[in-house]
Amino acid sequence: MWFSLEAAAAAAAGAVRPVLLARIDAEPIVRAWSGVGDLFLAADVIETTDQAKYLGIGLFNDWPAFEALINGAAGRVTLTLSGVDALAQDLAEAGLDQVENQPVHFGVLFLDEALQPIGDPLWLLEGVMETVETDRDSGRRSVAANIGYGPLDRRRPVLAYWSPADQAARAEGDRFCERTPLYSEGVEVTWPRWN
């Protein structure tokens, strides 16, 4: 789950060999990775099955940008798979109820020089599959999955801010957020003027 020292060293090197992983906890579980052929991964915190088979899909069409979410914000990403055939589109529509509200995980796994995995995958993001949309634009069919992450529904935690008061309520006597009011957000820092 966490970045191992070996993976950190690999990420800091001049050449990195990351592969991207996606896992939808539907029935059956959907597993995909950014390479070709099959990839078998050992079980970890997220992946409960040992030697689970990740399906190589060549590349994700558009790997979305993830945001680090703080202060109780929620994010949403859309994954689009273009150029699918009519059958895949039908299946996506028919199987909607099986994937909606299912947990989705995105991760990255670093490979070493011999293209073997270094440690466990780093699961970057845990989201919820919200809706699946299918589209047909001038003969080109696509399936898009909307994935929400962060506190995205009405179960937003009450204590969502990194303020001293919130932190004191979370853990009495903890001074971790003591100086956060000193931070300014959205303010341009200018060079001092001495005259």
Partner 1 sequence: MDVFPVTNFPVTALRWRPVGMTIGGGPTFTGPGQEGEFSGGGWWVAELNEMDLGDEQAIRALRALIWRAKKLKRFVVPMLDWPLSPALASVPHGDGSPFSDSSEYVGGGVEATLATSAVHRATQVSITLNPETAGPLQGGEVFTLVDAVMGPRLHGIDEILDVDGDTFTCSILPPLRTGFDLGAEVDFNTPRCVMRLDDPQDEATPWITAGWEGKSSLRFVEAFDRLEVEEA
Residues forming contacts to partner 1 in the complex (CB under 8 A) are 13-20, 28, 33-40, 56, 58-59, 111, 114-116
The one-character DSSP state at 177 is: T
Residue closer to partner 1 (CB basis): 65 or 187 = 65
Alpha-carbon distance values, 59 to 19, 68, 94 (Å): 10, 24, 25
Residue 33 CB, shortest distance to partner 1, in Å, is 7
Q: Nearest distance from residue 14's CB to partner 1, in Å?
A: 6
Minimum CB distance to partner 1, residue 58 (Å): 8
Map tokens 């994010």 to a residue. 75
For partner 1, give the closer residue by CB, 89 or 146: 89
- Amino acid sitting at position 109: L
Shortest Cβ distance from residue 63 to partner 1 (Å)?
A: 9
Identify the H or E element spanning 4: none
Closer Cβ to partner 1, 36 or 70, answer by number:
36
The CA-based angle 52-58-64, given to 5 degrees, is 90
CA 43 to chain centre: 18
The residue among 116 and 184 lying less far from partner 1, judged by its C-beta, is 116
| 186, two tokens | 């959205």
